[in-house]
Amino acid sequence: MTPLRIVTQLLEIAAALIAAPAFLGWVNQCRAWLQNRRAPSVLQPYYGLRKLFGKDVILAENASALFRFAPYAVFGTMVAAAAIIPSMGTGLPLSTAADAIALVGLLATARVFVSLAAMDVGTAFGTLGARREMMVGFLAEPALLMVLFVAAMISHTTSLPLIAEGLTTRALALYPSLAFTAVAFTLVLLAENARIPVDNPATHLELTMIHEAMLLEYSGRHLAMMEWAAALKLFNYACIGFALFIPWGTGTEAGGPAALMLAAPLLALKLAVAGAGLAVVETLSAKLRVFRAPEFLATAFLLAVLGLLVYLLLGA
Amino acid sequence: MELLLLLGAPVAGALVLWLAGARRSAPELNVLFSAATFGAACWLTARVISGGPMLLWREQFLIDPFNVFLVTLTALVGLTTALFSRPYMRVEAEHGRVSGGRLRLYHSMYQLFTATMLVALTTNNLGLLWVAMEAATLSTVLLVTLYRTPASLEAGWKYFILCGVGIAQALFGTMLIYFAAERVLGAEGVTALLWTHLDAVKGQLEPTVLSLAFVFLLVGYGTKVGLAPLHNWLPDAHAEGPTPISAVLSGLLLNVAIYAVVRCKVLVEGSLRSMLPSQMMMGFGLVSVLLAALFLWRQRDIKRLFAYSSIEHMGIVTFAFGMGGPVANFAALLHMTVHSLTKSAIFFAVGHAAQKAGSQLIENIRGLVTISPTIGWGLMLGSLAILGLPPFGVFASEFLILTTAMKQQPWATPLLLTALGIAFAAIFGKVQPMVFGDTQARRLPHPPALLPVFVHLGLVLMLGLYVPPYLAGWYRDAARLIGGP
Amino acid sequence: MAPLSFDLQLLNGCAALLLLLSFSMLSQRRIVNLVNLLALQGALLCAATLLVAVRTGQGHLYLSAVLTLALKVVGLPLLLHRLIRRLNVYWDAEPVINASGTMLIGLLIVVFAFGLAQPISALASTATRSTLGIAIAVILLAFLTMITRRKAMSQVVAFLSMENGLFFGAMSATYGMPMVVELGVALDVLVAMLVLGVFFFQIREQFDSLDLHHLESLKETE
């Protein structure tokens, strides 16, 4: 374990923790611009977090220990996920602990905790949100797995850093299968991060909520942890996308510290572009009725499977 | 030259009849062009009798023992049907069932249909064969819907879609054959679809590809043959179209489709050296025979009844070709000939009977012998002939097929015999009261001209007693060509 | 695995998009969009033909590409659009099987098609052979579309898409059929469309609708 690897690892975790709220802020800013509104600052999520950390926690009378434990668990899994996704460098010591499939498991664990906590208090909206969340997850997970399978088959490994490395170092070629899975992945990303068209992150109407409905009972630092975790999740998904589809510029171990230095601004650039793209997609699409969400995710699954089949047949 | 005349006459006929429109002389023109086609066919036949098989027009066309008699048969039935259709369609027009514009369409498409069938029969190019088969479907779709009744539109749509999809499968099969042949015959692709060249190298063609190709081809062309379970379009199209069209569909189109299947089978069997094509054809044939025999019982429409009978006979022919070998092939070829003649004769008689009764329902047609002895006896004799009673030709061919089956596929004989028995009981039971039942209707003052019916039945009778030596020679040569175990 | 040359990559891209289009046609319920998808499919077919033509230098493929462009990208879609306007059929009815069920069957069909193509592609000498499986899948998916639709118009579009699949298959396996055959097939397709046009008007005149449930009276169960 070289010092460089340790530095890379620590840098990645730190970057994820710091950049995640900013990324969310950037998406919100772009969205506001596109909708001809006065945009909040990119730093708005940080202000929100600071405010929440400063407030007291108010717990429901019948809240169990699980309810109090859940925010830390969710936050922890998200940080762990950030640790194994190669966002800036591929030489990650922790990545040997979990491959792409285990990553999906990590994300699922977070989902389970959020949903359980939402049901814990026993309010109607919490249960509703949890049920919807489970439905979305139930459909999105296979699609995400398929996406990862295609990438894994192309690179002959399930380890994310190796996939990213494999794609950067091979000759440039058109991969129809990767194009299909990229679209599928985008759809999964939208669904999993409670974005339009599946959910609306800015909604105040409880009946249409999915993610927000689960957090209604949280307050104070618990809510801050949950919000931060949500921002981290979006950041993580974006980084998985970069690792799978546009890994160029990620610092490899052979590249040394210089590559890592170069990777940081490149990551910022990718995030900026992806955030703007996300805002455009969200602005252009209308929110689907909850009952149409399965169709949306079925499309994602279909595309991912098609990508797999196309890869098997064409070898590309 | 003969070929040019043979193919040119109906094409020219289609053009002239389209331009001539609804003149009163259009039916006569139709007969004239059909006669010219028949003349050319006879000339061609004479040439083949004296000079043997020939390849024409840069090998794109081929006349060999297998297709020469089918060409003559097609031209002959085309002519007699034109003769029959002249008074028949005139009456239809007088009854107001078809307008002048539709008659023009009818005559012109009739000629075009003949042309496409002749191209399909004479071409040496498997691709052209496909094109001609598709064109034959297209030219008859609008004929099936000629009356524009809801039922006829439904029949036309079914015909179009089922045969369209079927024939698309056949195109894929043709493509696969081309693919296999290209590897042997070179990539220029000029000869790789020519049947004679394929036949010469069939032993070297890739078996896996050809077996797959045959499945597609059999399903594709089999749809047009009316093999169960792809037969759905056939009874509808026969029942709802004008009777002359039922006659040519049954008597000719089915023959051409089965001809296409057999041509392909020769290639595939030569490549595979296995029983797969034979077994598939026997299976499809047998299922068709049995299914058709059972459905015969339930028919209340006289034209549907005989349409199912056509399915049954096509099943017998397919089964016989599937068995293969000189005797079965000979019998199958003979059966194609006599079935075509008999079935068209029956449709002529049925057409007149239904026209006089004003209905196609069996229960509404009664006592034909009293109304018009010629129609009555024509229908009765035709039915007896198609049911395989001696001394008609159908008996001879069915007898040969059954004895061969007894020898080669003993398990199938009882099934075939049962089916034939059921068919006999069904058809005879329904036709008998039609011909001899009581009726209040009076005798027609003028007996309709049924010359074509008796010419056909006469030929069938002759083929039952005596097959001309050159015809027998062709059958034998063709049987050898088709081969089999 | 050595990377493929660029034109082959493009061709593979075309093939993959064709497959995707087939699925969109399977789920598309607006007939106008269905026709547009068909035109797009024709355009992709044309592009693929051109790519193969450039690669192999076979003259007749250029002709075939022009034919595809004229007939399948411009001619037939225009004809169909005119028919849609004049017959006033814009939407298909609910499909026979629901959307996700159809998609699932579609996926199984693709797997089946790939299995079917495997032995053939293994024998093919053309560089485009790997796309054969996609061609078969396109054919079978068009077939599925045909089965699950109720309106005559959508069935016809599916039929034409099947024809496209056949052409694509011919090209991937053998660089296209001989010119005579291709011309003949194109002529047949054109005539078929004209016949259908006439036919639609007859159906409309008779039933006031192009819904096929009117055409279900001829059955053996009486």
- Considering only B336-350, B355-369, C35-49, C85-99, which range has the smallest mean pLDDT? C85-99
The CA-atom distances, in angstroms, between B314 and each of B319, B363, C163 are 8, 27, 28
C-alpha to C-alpha distance for B394 and A79, rounded to whole angstroms:
86
Of the candidates B76, B91, B99, B85, the one whose C-alpha atom is nearest the C-alpha of residue B30 is: B85
8 A C-beta contact, residue B121 and residue B248: no
Residues of C in contact with A295 (CB under 8 A): 99-100
* Tokens 């530095």 belong to residue: A7
CA distance C219 to chain A (A): 36
Taking CA atoms, what residue in A is nearest to C103? Answer: A302
8 A C-beta contact, residue B478 and residue B328: no
Question: Is residue B261 situated within a structural domain?
Answer: no
Query: Would you state the structure tokens that stand for residue B369, as one six-digit string?
Result: 């012998």
Q: Which domain holds residue C90?
A: 12-202
Query: Would you state the structure tokens that stand for residue C61, as one six-digit string?
Result: 């493929």
Q: What is the pLDDT along chain B (485 residues), one digit of tens a residue?
A: 778 888 888 888 888 888 877 677 888 888 999 999 999 999 988 888 887 788 877 788 888 888 888 999 999 999 999 999 888 888 888 888 888 788 888 999 999 999 999 999 999 989 889 999 989 988 888 888 888 888 888 888 888 888 888 888 898 899 888 888 887 877 565 677 888 888 888 888 888 888 888 999 999 999 999 888 888 889 999 988 899 999 999 889 999 999 999 999 988 888 877 788 889 999 999 999 999 999 998 888 999 999 999 999 999 999 999 998 889 999 999 999 999 999 999 999 999 888 888 888 888 888 888 888 888 899 999 999 999 888 899 999 999 999 999 998 899 999 999 999 999 999 999 999 988 888 777 777 666 778 888 899 999 999 888 888 888 888 888 888 887 76
ipTM of this complex prediction, to 2 decimal places: 0.85
Q: How many residues does chain B have?
A: 485
8 A C-beta contact, residue B199 and residue B53: no
What is the pLDDT averaged over residues A203-211? Answer: 79
User: Is there a contact between C174 and B236 if contact means CB atoms under 8 Å apart?
Assistant: no
DSSP A248: T
Average pLDDT, chain A: 88
Torsional class of C3: left (φ above 0), alpha (ψ -120 to 50), beta (otherwise): beta
DSSP string, B8-70: HHHHHHHHHHHHHTT-TTHHHHHHHHHHHHHHHHHHHHHHHHHH--EEETTTTEEE-HHHHHH
8 A C-beta contact, residue A263 and residue A99: no
| Count of domains forming chain B | 1
Of the candidates A302, A120, A131, the one whose C-alpha atom is nearest the C-alpha of residue A210 is: A131
CA distance B400 to chain C (A): 33
- What residues pair up with B125 in beta bridges, in sequence order? B194
Task: Out of C1, C17, C103, name the one closest to residue A298 (CB).
Answer: C103
Global pTM reads 0.83
Residues of C in contact with B240 (CB under 8 A): 218
CA distance C8 to chain A (A): 9
C-alpha to C-alpha distance for B87 and B52, rounded to whole angstroms:
39
- CA C212, chain centre distance (Å): 21
Chains touching C by CB (3 or more pairs below 8 Å)? A, B
Q: Residue C70 contacts by C-beta under 8 Å, 6 or more apart in sequence?
A: none
Question: Is residue C41 situated within a structural domain?
Answer: yes
pLDDT at A156: 86
Helix (H, G, I), strand (E, B) or coil at B285: helix
- What residues pair up with B123 in beta bridges, in sequence order? B61
C-alpha to C-alpha distance for A38 and A257, rounded to whole angstroms:
40
Q: How many residues does chain C have?
A: 222
CA distance A310 to chain C (A): 7
Task: Out of B160, B164, B193, name the one closest to residue C178 (CB).
Answer: B193
- What residues pair up with B324 in beta bridges, in sequence order? none
pLDDT at C221: 45
CA distance A288 to chain C (A): 17
C-alpha to C-alpha distance for B162 and B379, rounded to whole angstroms:
31
C-alpha to C-alpha distance for B163 and B222, rounded to whole angstroms:
9
Taking CA atoms, what residue in B is nearest to C208? Answer: B150
Q: How many CA atoms lie within 13 A of A272 on its CB side?
A: 7
8 A C-beta contact, residue C134 and residue C164: no
Question: Is residue C84 situated within a structural domain?
Answer: yes
8 A C-beta contact, residue C49 and residue C11: no
**Preceding peptide of A71 cis, ω within 30°:** no
| Count of domains forming chain C | 1
C-alpha to C-alpha distance for A304 and A310, rounded to whole angstroms:
10
Q: How many residues does chain A have?
A: 316
Q: Is A303 exposed, middle or buried (0-12, 13-18, 19+ CB in 10 A)?
A: buried
Residues of B in contact with C177 (CB under 8 A): 127, 175, 178, 189, 193
Question: Is residue B141 situated within a structural domain?
Answer: no
Contact: chain C with chain B (3+ CB pairs below 8 Å): yes
C-alpha to C-alpha distance for B138 and B164, rounded to whole angstroms:
9
Task: Quote the percentage of chain C above a pLDDT of 70.
Answer: 86
Buried b (16+ CB within 10 A) or exposed e, A210-232: bbbbbbbbbbbbbbbbbbbbbbb
pLDDT digit string, tens, across residues A277-286: 999 998 888 8
Chain B interface, mutation test: which of C147, C155, C164, C188, most B Cβ atoms within 10 Å?
Answer: C188
C-alpha to C-alpha distance for A210 and C106, rounded to whole angstroms:
31
pLDDT category, C3, cuts 50, 70, 90?
Answer: low
C-alpha to C-alpha distance for A238 and C35, rounded to whole angstroms:
36
Residues of A in contact with C107 (CB under 8 A): 302, 305-306, 309
Chain C interface, mutation test: which of A138, A178, A309, most C Cβ atoms within 10 Å?
Answer: A309
8 A C-beta contact, residue C18 and residue C128: no
Q: Which domain holds residue B425?
A: 275-485
- What residues pair up with A88 in beta bridges, in sequence order? none
Kindly state whether A79 is in contact with chain C, defined as any CB-CB distance less than 8 angstroms. no
User: Is there a contact between C222 and B176 if contact means CB atoms under 8 Å apart?
Assistant: no
Kindly state whether C195 is in contact with chain B, defined as any CB-CB distance less than 8 angstroms. yes
C-alpha to C-alpha distance for A99 and B239, rounded to whole angstroms:
68
Q: Residue A55 contacts by C-beta under 8 Å, 6 or more apart in sequence?
A: A219, A220, A221
DSSP B102: H
User: Is there a contact between A314 and C16 if contact means CB atoms under 8 Å apart?
Assistant: yes
* Tokens 């890869």 belong to residue: A311
Query: Would you state the structure tokens that stand for residue B318, as one six-digit string?
Result: 């397919």
pLDDT digit string, tens, across residues A35-88: 898 888 999 999 999 999 999 998 888 889 999 999 999 999 999 999 988 888
DSSP string, B356-375: HHT--BGGG---HHHH-HHH
Phi, psi of B212 (to 5 degrees): -65, -45
CA angle B98/B345/B252 to nearest 5° reads: 80
Residues of C in contact with B149 (CB under 8 A): 206
Chains touching A by CB (3 or more pairs below 8 Å)? C
Query: Would you state the structure tokens that stand for residue C153, as one six-digit string?
Result: 């118009």
pLDDT at B485: 63
C-alpha to C-alpha distance for B326 and B340, rounded to whole angstroms:
21
